Amino acid sequence: MSSILRRTFNNIFWLFIGEVCAKGVVFLTTLYLARVLGIDGFGKFSLALAMSTYMWIFVDMGITGYGTREIARDREKISEIFRILNSLRLVLAVVSFLILIIFLHILNIPLDMRMILLAGGFYVIAYALSPDWVLRGIERMEYIALGNAVMSIVFLLTVYLFVRAPDDTVSAVLYRSFSFLLGSFVALIILKRTMNVWYAFEISLSKWLFHLRESFYFAVNGGLNNIAMYIPVFFLGLWAAMEDVGIFSAPQRAIVLIINTVAVIQVASYPVMSNLYVSDKYKFYLIHKTIERVMLYIGLPIGVMGMILSKEIISTLYGNMYETSSAIFRVMIWIVPLTFLRSNYGRTLLSAGFHRFNMFATGSGAVVTILLCILFIPTYRGTGAAISVLAGEAVILIIMGVMFGIKLYRSYPFDVFFIKIVIASITAGLIVRIADLPLFYSAVLGVILYFGISFFLGIITVGMIRDICSRIIQRRVGIV
């Protein structure tokens, strides 16, 4: 079991470093843009990002998840799978961008908004070349971290140097797409030099169709996931003002950052679990249960503290102009623990090959989100959108938990361990609220209290901390 843990921990370590560095820098850049572009400009920027996210669903076609799993199961076919799948993505990217050009030409959209959306759409071409899914499949997460670092630093520098006013919204979106293009080239070079795998464009309709049949469920599942999170942006753009899009997008970007950062634990374990499902079911179960407890331990206090400190968090991050976003953040922060838990179910189902059941649960949640958006957004705007997304996530968790129990084994996350975490989270949160300190001191106090209560209740032990520190030290000196 120790070798499995070392592989998983190694993956988590490097992906976490990459996420903290890359996504952290991108988020800081987003905070800068939220202030410089203003609420209206930031709303347009967020709409372009949401549009590019939906375009990516069509371009990727589930290749990221499917390709990672296939390479993890058979590394002898890296070159062939890489050539075929990335060529397919590149063709789909060019086609989707041409469709966007035609679509925007037909619609009567103001020129500035048209340029913003085109700049955002270029992202799919820039990222289609990226071999990050290959690097995940062979578990070389350190190279993903390097590529992400290059991307984020380029984005930060270009935005900070050249974006100074709301009129620079087009440039801000374009710089984001360009940074992904550069990151893709860096990752391609790394893959060539380390694995002697180079990308060569290859057209093969028969192979494309074969892989598309296999990756279809990954694509649908990924699309439904993004619908649940980003569809409110489009509904707000349709039924409300662009300022409402900006007010909603501010807390949404913070929530997405938290989810993506901690999700590295599940992403890192995915290739390991895909392999274990075939070779060792017992270890497969142990990895799932361990990650489940980690997700609960991290997610619940984030929900409690985020709700209590919502006003302070939003004002500190985005400034007083986004003060009304705090009510939305107070609702959306609970998406974090729900997503942590259901994503663990989802990735485990995908690792075991149960794509259809994952898709059914995610689709049900997406339908609930859309229906509630239609019902709530015209009246309650951003708050209604937040409630819609939260309800959709709850539905996904419930259905996915039931499916998981039917197809794999019964999992009971709400046990004594869960009760202890609830007690620790609420106790720490109440003390922080009573203390009423500035945000930084409140956060530090909350972390100290949570860990202290965790030790008292036996949730974590000195031995566990010692083991984690040992693995981190070993990783730094290259022993593991």
Identify the pLDDT of residue 468.
59
Whether 451 is in a domain gets the answer no
Domain encompassing residue 235: 2-413
Go through the chain and tell me how many residues it has.
480
CA distance 214 to 420: 42
**Overall average pLDDT of the 277-305 stretch:** 87
What band does 467 get if pLDDT is binned at 50, 70 and 90?
Answer: low
312, pLDDT greater than 90: yes
Which has the closest alpha carbon to 322: 273, 250, 398, 396? 250
479, pLDDT greater than 80: no
CA distance 468 to 359: 35
Which helix or strand (DSSP H or E) is residue 453 part of? helix 439-457
Identify the pLDDT of residue 19.
62
Whether 424 is in a domain gets the answer no
Whether 429 is in a domain gets the answer no
If you ran DSSP here, which 8-state letter would residue 75 be given?
G
Q: What is the pTM of this model?
A: 0.77
Phi, psi of 74 (to 5 degrees): -150, 95
Whether 454 is in a domain gets the answer no
CA distance 314 to 421: 26
Q: Which residue type, as a one-letter code, is found at position 139?
A: E
CA distance 340 to 72: 23
Q: Which residue type, as a one-letter code, is found at position 52?
A: S
Identify the pLDDT of residue 77.
81
Whether 443 is in a domain gets the answer no
Distances from the Cα of 317 to the Cα of 35, 101, 321, 332, angstroms? 10, 35, 11, 16
Supply the Cα-derived Rg of the chain in whole angstroms: 22
- Most confident option among 151-155, 174-178, 230-234, 466-470: 174-178
Whether 94 is in a domain gets the answer yes
Distances from the Cα of 442 to the Cα of 303, 319, 462, angstroms? 15, 18, 25
- Chain-centroid distance of CA 252 in Å reads 12
- Most confident option among 13-22, 166-175, 230-239, 279-288: 166-175
> How many structural domains compose the chain?
1
Packed helices 63-73 and 335-351: angle between N→C axes, nearest 10 degrees: 50
Which has the closest alpha carbon to 253: 192, 154, 177, 333? 333
Identify the pLDDT of residue 339.
92
438: exposed, middle or buried (C-beta count within 10 Å: 0-12, 13-18, 19+)?
exposed
- Chain-centroid distance of CA 52 in Å reads 15
425, pLDDT greater than 90: yes
